[in-house]
Amino acid sequence: MPGQRIDVHTHGVSDEAMAAIAGRGFRPTGGYRISVRWTPEAALAYMDRQQIAAQLVSMPISFAGADDDPDFGTRLARLINEGHAELIAKHPGRFGAFATLPADGPDEALAEAAYALDELKLDGVVLTSNVLGRYFGDPSLEPVLAELARREVPVFVHPEDCPHIDVLGFGRPSSIVEFPFDTARTITNALYTGVFQRHPGLRLILAHCGGALPALGWRIGEHTVMGRGPVDADIDPAHVAEVLRGLYYETALAGSRNSLLPTLEVTSADHILFGTDWPAAPEPTVVHNIENLMGFDGFTEGDLRGVERDNALRLFPRFA
């Protein structure tokens, strides 16, 4: 029988979409191999084993068209999103989804967001920490962030390989440290370029408890008043603290004290959500992470109930 947890971080697409992705030679970023093929049946069995009532699936990729197929990115996003809608229609109480947007440009992304949210009724949007090397605060992403803020729709921010991963990664899986760093990069740039001043309606959910961001929170804020000119916008430490407090942080691969203690320094327990990163994270790792989360002594019983379910219901009330 399913439990009560709502998992906001899990990855899956239809076989048709996966075939299209594989046909372009795509391999998962992060430097690891996914050992379990996602299917609805496998996901439901996994959810029941891990006491998960509902799961929000996403496919965090940045695909644009190419010279030999200029419409590929837009076509792929539509294929992924329509597959998500079919999944939800078959299992409305068990699955939700974040819409994938094409990386062809703001017009294409905005058109797909409107279709996915208004016609398909998906639950939110997934954005990668950088979109083909462009971070939050880049002018090309401004129209998309503005529209998502206007809608106040949940936006799941998932890390992506940075453009210089060949130099910075040392040939090791970027999921070890580069993914956590890239989340911190994009939010820092968003802060320093005034994204949250212009778009206060943004409702961002950061994967992996924000990666390195919470541990760097004070440092990021203090640099706004150190007189070295790193900031484009008129912000101060109080603005940085306010933004970090209002973000949501999910616990996939981040259920230990190492991640939770810094997170609780920048926000409160009611902004922490349950996530697993399955099947990118193998189930034994998920189990270990959940054990850490359940054993964390920084949560009250009510806090933990919020992390597992109630906090997500404020963002996704249909699962109530």
Distance CA 80, CA 84 (A): 6
Tokens (6 digits) for 247: 């973000």
Q: Output the CA–CA distances (angstroms, integers) from residue 86 to 94, 307, 312, 315, in the order listed.
A: 13, 28, 22, 22
Kindly give the parts of the chain with pLDDT less than 70: 1-2, 25-35, 228-230
3-state helix, strand, coil in the chain (%, to 5): 50, 15, 35
Closest CA to 278 of 44, 82, 88: 44
Which pTM does this prediction carry? 0.96
pLDDT at 65: 81
Query: Would you say 189 and 136 are in contact if contact means Cβ atoms under 8 Å apart?
Result: yes
pLDDT at 171: 87
Query: Would you say 179 and 169 are in contact if contact means Cβ atoms under 8 Å apart?
Result: no
Question: Domain map of the chain by residue range?
Answer: 5-319
What stretch of H or E contains 263?
A: helix 257-266
pLDDT at 1: 43
Distance CA 17, CA 75 (A): 10
What stretch of H or E contains 158?
A: strand 154-158
pLDDT at 266: 98
pLDDT at 303: 98
pLDDT at 32: 54
pLDDT at 173: 87
**Cβ neighbours, 10 Å, residue 319:** 18
Query: Would you say 69 and 21 are in contact if contact means Cβ atoms under 8 Å apart?
Result: no
pLDDT at 99: 98
Distance CA 158, CA 33 (A): 18
**Cβ neighbours, 10 Å, residue 168:** 14
pLDDT at 37: 87
As a CATH number, domain 5-319 is 3.20.20.140
Tokens (6 digits) for 228: 């070295």
